[in-house]
């Protein structure tokens, strides 16, 4: 009897000894595509991501980067204010992990992820981040460059691009124009110093037209307004158009680039995929870095975005910011249109410590149909406050 047990033991170990993990469980690019298709299929059936999938008869488990405590808090706020549509995405700037991603729809009272992944949302003035980066990179404009304009700063007409001076003409520096989201100044700056190719190139550096910006996720592709006329260039540069479209995921990535001194680190929502039985890892989140702009240009953008929170369109929400050693920078945006239809209220932002510590980036897109229930800037402040009070304590 003991001989039979010994023989069985030897055969079992021989079988495992001859099992080549690297050969039999490592997925080639085609099989990685199969994994992506399985995740995509599950998502479209359930509007959430699976805990496990079966590919080629292998049972694979999936680990995500989500911080459950922060996500639970975000859901609590979404449920409390019940906006028509809302999307929240939070990235850890140091690790590039997406620690929260959640949507809410008022009519169904349900949470999901479809809004965050869809590229059907006008970027509005969030795109001014790209325009400012392009202007800084070409050394044609700095924070103190003065511009003049006529008419309302929130509009954009062809006559406003002309350099006519009269008693109603006003002057403003570029830093304040960004903080107050002046469409005319951004249209005039692009008309004078940039062309379509330069803006498209910078857009691509920021992740526009990338269909794999977040690996393995069925995310829509952000795109910009295409056109050749001078006025279309001004529309693109100011964000005052309905054809420059982004995902809320992408909004968080844009903010993280500025927080990381101009470097794009591939964001990840899936941390790893492994074989359930053998614990063999078949996919791990990549760490890929690419420089979008110089550190000097990124620092200038930090000044602009932090001035927006201190003195610009986000100032009211952060007036009583309690964490004095934490800097918050951001860009607001507002435009009616997109799918689902409504008025987009954007706040794309980041935090960073005065000691150089990397914080988080928060992208909030609220779509209001008839009335608004909570401002995106105020929602973001609540998230930052909770994060530093309950999750990153002592910072």
Cα 77 to chain center, whole Å? 20
Compute the distance between CA of residue 139 and CA of residue 137 in angstroms, rounded to an integer.
5
**Residues 275 and 147 sit within 8 Å (Cβ to Cβ):** no
* Dihedral over alpha carbons 27, 28, 30, 32 (to 10 degrees): 40
Q: How would you label 356-381 residue by residue, b for 16+ Cβ within 10 Å and e otherwise?
A: eebbbbbbbbbbbeeebebbbbbbbb
Q: What is the DSSP string of 100-156?
A: EEEEEETTTTEEESHHHH---EE-GGGGHHHHHHHHHHTTS--TT-EEEE-S-TT--
Beta strands in the chain (DSSP E): 52-55, 58-64, 85-92, 98-105, 110-112, 121-122, 146-149, 170-173, 245-246, 263-265, 270-275, 281-284, 289-291, 326-337, 342-353, 358-368
Strand partners, 101: 89
The label of the residue with tokens 């078949």 reads 282
What count of other Cβ atoms lies within 10 Å of the Cβ of residue 345? Answer: 23
Residue 236's contacts (CB-CB under 8 Å, 6 or more residues apart) are 127, 131, 190, 196, 199, 224, 225, 227, 244
The alpha carbons of the chain give a radius of gyration, in whole angstroms, of: 24
pLDDT at position 392: 83
Q: How crowded is the C-beta side of 29, counted as CA atoms within 13 Å?
A: 0
pLDDT at position 57: 84
Tokens of 336: 């009616």
Compute the distance between CA of residue 103 and CA of residue 121 in angstroms, rounded to an integer.
14
Length of the chain equals 395
Integer distance in angstroms from the first to the last C-alpha of the chain? 65
pLDDT at position 343: 97
User: Domains in the chain, start-ordered, CATH in brackets?
Assistant: 2-63 (no CATH), 66-391 (3.40.710.10)
Tokens of 9: 């033991």
Q: How crowded is the C-beta side of 45, counted as CA atoms within 13 Å?
A: 7
Tokens of 284: 């791990």
Strand partners, 61: 52, 274
Which residue in 124, 365, 130 sits closest to 258, CA to CA?
130
- Specify burial of residue 171 (Cβ count, 10 A radius: 0-12, 13-18, 19+): exposed
Which residue in 222, 205, 208, 317 sits closest to 258, CA to CA?
205
Three-class secondary structure of residue 275 per DSSP = strand
pLDDT at position 257: 98
pLDDT at position 5: 40
What digits encode the pLDDT tens for the residues 111-162? Answer: 999 999 999 999 999 999 999 999 999 999 999 999 999 999 999 999 999 9
The label of the residue with tokens 């689902």 reads 340
What digits encode the pLDDT tens for the residues 308-343? Answer: 999 999 999 999 898 989 999 999 999 999 999 999
Note down pLDDT in tens along the chain; length 395 residues. Answer: 444 444 443 334 433 333 344 444 444 433 788 899 999 999 999 889 999 999 988 899 999 999 999 999 999 999 999 999 999 999 999 999 999 999 999 999 999 999 999 999 999 999 999 999 999 999 999 999 999 999 999 999 999 999 888 989 999 999 999 999 999 999 999 999 999 999 999 999 999 999 999 999 999 999 999 998 999 999 999 999 999 999 999 999 999 999 999 999 999 999 999 998 877 888 999 989 999 999 999 999 999 999 999 999 999 999 989 898 999 999 999 999 999 999 999 999 999 999 989 999 999 999 999 999 999 999 999 999 999 999 886 44
Compute the distance between CA of residue 389 and CA of residue 30 in angstroms, rounded to an integer.
45
**Residues 36 and 216 sit within 8 Å (Cβ to Cβ):** yes
Tokens of 96: 């590039």
Which residue in 362, 358, 353, 365 sits closest to 381, CA to CA?
362
pLDDT at position 393: 65
**Residues 251 and 220 sit within 8 Å (Cβ to Cβ):** no
């Amino acid at each position: 009897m003991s001989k039979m047990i010994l023989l069985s033991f030897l055969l079992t170990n021989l079988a495992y000894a001859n099992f080549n993990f690297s050969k039999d469980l490592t997925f080639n690019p085609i099989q990685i595509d199969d994994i992506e298709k399985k995740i995509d299929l599950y998502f479209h059936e359930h509007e959430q991501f699976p805990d496990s999938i079966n590919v080629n008869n292998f049972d694979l488990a999936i680990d995500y980067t989500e911080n459950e405590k922060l996500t639970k808090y975000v859901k609590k706020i979404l449920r409390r204010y019940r906006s028509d549509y809302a999307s929240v995405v939070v990235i850890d700037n140091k690790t590039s992990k997406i620690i929260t991603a959640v949507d809410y729809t008022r009519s169904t009272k349900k949470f999901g992820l479809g809004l965050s992944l869809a590229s059907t949302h006008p970027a509005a003035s969030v795109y001014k981040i790209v325009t400012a980066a392009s202007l800084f990179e070409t050394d044609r404009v700095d924070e103190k460059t003065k511009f003049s304009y006529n008419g309302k700063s929130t509009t954009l007409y062809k006559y406003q691009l002309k350099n006519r001076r009269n008693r109603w003409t006003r002057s403003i520096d570029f830093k304040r124009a960004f903080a107050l989201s002046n469409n005319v100044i951004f249209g005039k700056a692009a008309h004078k110093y940039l062309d379509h190719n330069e803006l498209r190139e910078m857009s691509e550096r920021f992740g526009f037209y990338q269909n794999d910006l977040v690996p393995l996720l069925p995310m829509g592709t952000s795109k910009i307004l295409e056109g050749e006329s001078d006025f279309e260039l001004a529309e693109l540069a100011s964000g005052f158009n309905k054809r420059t479209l982004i995902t809320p995921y992408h909004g968080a990535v844009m903010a993280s680039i500025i927080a990381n001194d101009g470097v794009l680190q591939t964001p990840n929502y899936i941390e790893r995929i492994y074989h359930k039985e053998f614990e063999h890892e078949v996919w791990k989140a990549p760490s890929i870095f690419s420089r979008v702009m110089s550190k000097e240009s990124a620092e200038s953008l930090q000044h602009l975005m932090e001035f927006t929170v201190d003195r610009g369109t986000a100032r009211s929400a952060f007036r009583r910011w309690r964490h004095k050693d934490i800097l918050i920078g951001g860009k607001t945006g507002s435009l009616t249109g997109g799918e689902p239809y409504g008025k987009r209220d954007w706040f794309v932002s980041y935090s960073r410590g005065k000691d150089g510590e990397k914080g988080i980036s928060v992208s909030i897109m609220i779509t209001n149909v008839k009335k608004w229930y909570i401002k995106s800037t105020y929602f973001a402040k609540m998230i930052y406050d909770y994060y530093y009070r309950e999750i990153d304590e002592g910072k």
